[in-house]
């Protein structure tokens, strides 16, 4: 298109020409657009553009050529998997210039100007393409920006009251999705849901190389202990689950789902729930004994003895089960229930030799919500600020789809506000 005769180009409809004729005293007019902020707000969309215009004038006639327009846009800046649009649009336009009123109208150019312009156009395109490549990689790098919104206690209350703001904030957090192509061959039949695929980078691998649908949630900002987020065990993955508990030296399991919800099976009964006699539950190389069972309102706390039969070794594990989450969204005191759960779990988390294991049915929605709350509680204890936006983004990077709904995201804010408020009262 760059080598088309100017006469043919001038016949193009003005609607097809990007931008208006640009008459400038500067013979080369470069326009580069980009963000000039060092800390990018969480709602900001970033785009980068590069336009190259060349203006000639001869008497009362002028020729403006938009040699190249390159535009990069990132509709959802912070999602590395989002679509990026890159367009290369070489455009040439001719204009008449009325020196009296600066009015520009389409006109034909002379053959001499046309011939002399071709070399300039080609050279310009080559140089601009180089700049375009730089901008392209710049936009890709920007898409990896870390989200952050640190709030003090007084700011948390205001944030909880602004539901629309929280919804917009939730929408900015990237969702990373994987297909079954990233799964090993032995994963067949071991996923509770076909669309919940663990992030390969952080996936837990059992010592013998076997697959389990679980991810490490890495510790953040000096916190020494991360988490493991996993799906509810299936009938055929119970031994894998207990193998993970043993190998990871986990001494607390937080369960956030009922065995049956809405007449649908959500979890296998993978632990013994009766204290009658010395009854062991057998799962391959592992045996589990219920030593003690106590109920605290909506919580069931089971003290288990986990035995590895091959080496005749045993270890105590605390199983803490919140039974009422299925009604949590309809409860006026839902945030209080979750606060009580997390406060109850924290001492056992501190005592656990290995990472705590948290699961719901999918290992994403409720699981991510509780992990975000527990991590943020540590933030507040250490720094006196809370950064829910960043913590949820970090958890999602490690476990796809964590914190599934806007209601769960708002619940995190509400629980942490209550927690920060209680710490203020304690002082």
Number of alpha carbons in the 13 Å side-chain half-sphere of residue 246: 25
With CA atoms as reference, report the closest residue to 174 among 39, 34, 77.
77
Integer CA distances (angstroms), 282 to 99, 159, 172, 236, 239, in order: 93, 48, 45, 13, 9
Evaluate whether 198 touches 177 at the Cβ level (below 8 Å).
no
**DSSP state, 133?**
H
Q: What domains can you pick out in the chain, each with its CATH number?
A: 6-142 (no CATH), 153-426 (3.90.190.10)
Confidence of residue 250 (pLDDT cuts 50, 70, 90): very high
Confidence of residue 52 (pLDDT cuts 50, 70, 90): very low
DSSP secondary structure string for all residues of 335-366: HHHHHHHHHHHHHHHHH-SS--EEE-SSSSHH
Q: Can you give the pLDDT at residue 425? A: 66
> How far is residue 127 CA from its own chain's centroid?
36
360 annotated active-site: yes
pLDDT tens column, 72-99: 444 333 333 433 333 333 434 444 444 4
Confidence of residue 15 (pLDDT cuts 50, 70, 90): very low
Distance CA 7, CA 4 (A): 8
% of the chain beyond a pLDDT of 70: 64
Greater confidence, 57 or 347?
347
The residue from 267, 283, 345, 360 that is catalytic is 360
Number of alpha carbons in the 13 Å side-chain half-sphere of residue 94: 20
Question: 173, exposed or middle or buried, with CB in 10 Å at 0-12, 13-18, 19+?
Answer: buried
- pTM for this entry: 0.68
Mean pLDDT, range 11-40, rounded to an integer? 36
Q: Can you give the pLDDT at residue 177? A: 80
The whole-chain average pLDDT of the chain stands at 76
Q: Can you give the pLDDT at residue 119? A: 64
pLDDT tens column, 201-229: 999 999 999 999 999 999 887 777 899 99
Tokens at 316, concatenated: 């105590």
Confidence of residue 128 (pLDDT cuts 50, 70, 90): low
Confidence of residue 124 (pLDDT cuts 50, 70, 90): low
């Amino acid at each position: 298109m760059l080598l088309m005769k100017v006469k043919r180009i001038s016949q193009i409809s003005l609607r097809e020409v990007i931008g208006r004729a640009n008459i400038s005293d500067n013979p080369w007019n470069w326009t580069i657009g980009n963000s000039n902020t060092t800390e990018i707000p969480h709602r900001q969309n970033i785009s980068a553009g590069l336009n190259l215009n060349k203006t000639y004038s001869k008497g009362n006639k002028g020729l403006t050529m938009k040699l190249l327009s390159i535009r990069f846009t990132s509709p959802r800046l912070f999602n590395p998997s989002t679509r990026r649009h890159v367009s290369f649009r070489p455009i040439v336009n001719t204009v008449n210039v009325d020196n009296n009123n600066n009015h520009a109208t389409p006109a034909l150019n002379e053959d001499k100007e046309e011939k002399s312009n071709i070399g300039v156009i080609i050279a310009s395109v080559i140089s601009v393409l180089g700049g375009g490549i730089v901008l392209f990689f710049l936009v890709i790098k920007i898409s990896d920006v870390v989200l952050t919104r640190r709030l003090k206690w007084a700011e948390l209350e205001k944030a909880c009251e602004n539901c629309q703001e929280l919804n917009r904030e939730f929408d900015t957090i990237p969702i990373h999705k994987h297909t079954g192509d990233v799964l090993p061959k032995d994963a067949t039949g071991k996923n509770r849901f076909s669309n919940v695929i663990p992030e390969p980078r952080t996936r837990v691998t059992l010592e013998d190389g076997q697959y389990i649908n679980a991810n490490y949630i890495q510790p953040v900002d000096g916190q020494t202990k991360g988490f493991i987020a996993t799906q509810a065990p299936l009938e055929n993955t119970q031994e894998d689950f207990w193998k993970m508990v043993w190998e990871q030296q986990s001494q607390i399991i937080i369960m956030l789902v009922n065995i049956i919800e809405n007449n649908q099976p959500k979890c296998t009964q993978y632990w013994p729930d009766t204290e009658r006699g010395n009854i062991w539950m057998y799962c391959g190389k592992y045996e589990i004994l219920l030593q003690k069972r106590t109920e605290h309102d909506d919580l069931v706390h089971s003290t288990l003895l986990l035995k590895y039969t091959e080496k005749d070794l045993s270890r105590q594990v605390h199983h803490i089960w919140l039974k009422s989450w299925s009604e949590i969204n309809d409860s006026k005191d839902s945030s209080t229930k979750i606060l009580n759960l997390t406060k109850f779990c924290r001492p056992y988390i501190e005592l656990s030799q290995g990472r705590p294991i948290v699961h719901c049915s999918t290992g994403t929605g409720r699981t991510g919500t509780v992990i975000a709350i527990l991590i943020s509680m540590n933030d507040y204890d250490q720094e006196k600020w809370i950064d829910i936006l960043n913590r949820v983004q970090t958890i999602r990077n490690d476990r796809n789809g964590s914190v599934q709904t806007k209601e769960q995201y708002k619940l995190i804010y509400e629980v942490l506000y209550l927690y920060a408020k209680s710490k203020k009262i304690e002082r």
